[in-house]
């Protein structure tokens, strides 16, 4: 009698529980990977923005230096910039 309960009722529930646990584990792993991917993308964006800001700052400094050289006559051969 107990063997029949185990085989016909309990074992299918145990098997179903194990399947649900596997699915849950897989779903959690996928969720964790998506979170990591989003964080990696966010960090890449932050890095790119910092690099852009650094390049803009450097370009601004170079423009100021060039303007100064033009004003002092040290950059006579450098053509004027054309805004456009």
At residue 16, the pLDDT reads 97
Q: Is residue 82 part of a domain?
A: no
Domain tally for the chain?
Answer: 1
Cβ(70)–Cβ(78) below 8 Å = yes
Q: Is residue 80 part of a domain?
A: no
Q: Is residue 79 part of a domain?
A: no
Residues of the chain with pLDDT under 50: 84
* Domain interval for residue 60: 1-71
Instruction: Give the model confidence (pLDDT) of 55-74 as tens digits.
Output: 999 999 999 999 999 888 87
Q: Is residue 78 part of a domain?
A: no
pTM value? 0.60
């Amino acid at each position: 009698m107990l063997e029949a309960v185990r085989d016909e009722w309990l074992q299918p529930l145990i098997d179903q529980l194990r399947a649900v646990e596997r699915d849950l584990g897989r779903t959690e792993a996928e969720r964790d990977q998506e979170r990591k991917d989003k964080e990696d993308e966010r960090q890449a964006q932050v890095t790119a923005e910092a690099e852009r800001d650094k390049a803009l700052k450097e370009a601004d400094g170079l423009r100021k230096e060039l303007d100064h050289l033009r004003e002092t006559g040290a950059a006579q051969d450098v053509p004027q910039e054309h805004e456009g």
